[in-house]
């Protein structure tokens, strides 16, 4: 247990569905992250929130919409996804962002998403 939980662990959805991924951290951290991990590809940073404000958005398609209602929760809203969006979506948190010693990221177990 890393202190970061993600639900659901597995999700199968059609291209016209709308679903949301949830992440919760119990570590009192200030920064939260969404990553996409596809087979044989490196971790792709999607979004970063620091103190509930979005600080990075790495050219992610608008069919992915993040939400950070408070410092403990992070959501990723999904709509009209494509089959190539099938991947493991990982949430992580860190005490702060970019400061040596406090930027260790703690990952959740991920949501395995399959888009049909």
Partner 1 sequence: TQLLEQSPQFLSIQEGENLTVYCNSSSVFSSLQWYRQEPGEGPVLLVTVVTGGEVKKLKRLTFQFGDARKDSSLHITAAQTGDTGLYLCAGAGQAGTALIFGKGTTLSVSS
**Token digits for 3?**
């202190």
Closest to 104 measured CA to CA, from 39, 10, 27: 27
- Give buried/exposed letters for 89-107 (b at 16+ CB in 10 A, else e): bbbbbbbebeeeeeeebbb
Q: Is 75 an interacting residue with respect to partner 1 (CB under 8 A)?
A: no
Which residue from 16, 39, 41, 59 is in contact with partner 1, where contact means CB under 8 A?
41
Q: Give the binding range for partner 1 (CB under 8 A) out of 38-46, 59-67, 68-76, 77-85.
A: 38-46
Q: Is 109 an interacting residue with respect to partner 1 (CB under 8 A)?
A: yes
108 close to 90: Cβ distance less than 8 angstroms: yes
Q: Which segments of 37-89 does DSSP mark as H helices, in order?
A: none
Q: Is 92 an interacting residue with respect to partner 1 (CB under 8 A)?
A: yes
Which residue from 16, 39, 42, 70 is in contact with partner 1, where contact means CB under 8 A?
42
Which H/E stretch holds residue 53?
Answer: strand 53-57
Which residue from 21, 25, 29, 33 is in contact with partner 1, where contact means CB under 8 A?
33
Using CB under 8 A, list all residues that contact partner 1: 2, 4, 33, 41-43, 45, 48, 50, 55-56, 90, 92, 97-101, 103-110, 112
């Amino acid at each position: 247990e890393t202190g970061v939980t993600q639900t659901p662990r597995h999700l199968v959805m059609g291209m016209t569905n709308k679903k949301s991924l949830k992440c919760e951290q119990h570590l009192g951290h200030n920064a939260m992250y969404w990553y996409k991990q596809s087979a044989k590809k490196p971790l792709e940073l999607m979004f970063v929130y620091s103190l509930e404000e979005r600080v990075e958005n790495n050219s992610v398609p608008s069919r992915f919409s993040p939400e950070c209602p408070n410092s403990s929760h992070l959501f990723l809203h999904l709509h009209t996804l494509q089959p190539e969006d099938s991947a493991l979506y990982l949430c992580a948190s860190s005490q702060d962002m970019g400061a040596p010693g406090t930027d260790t990221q703690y990952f959740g177990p991920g949501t395995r998403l399959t888009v049909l």
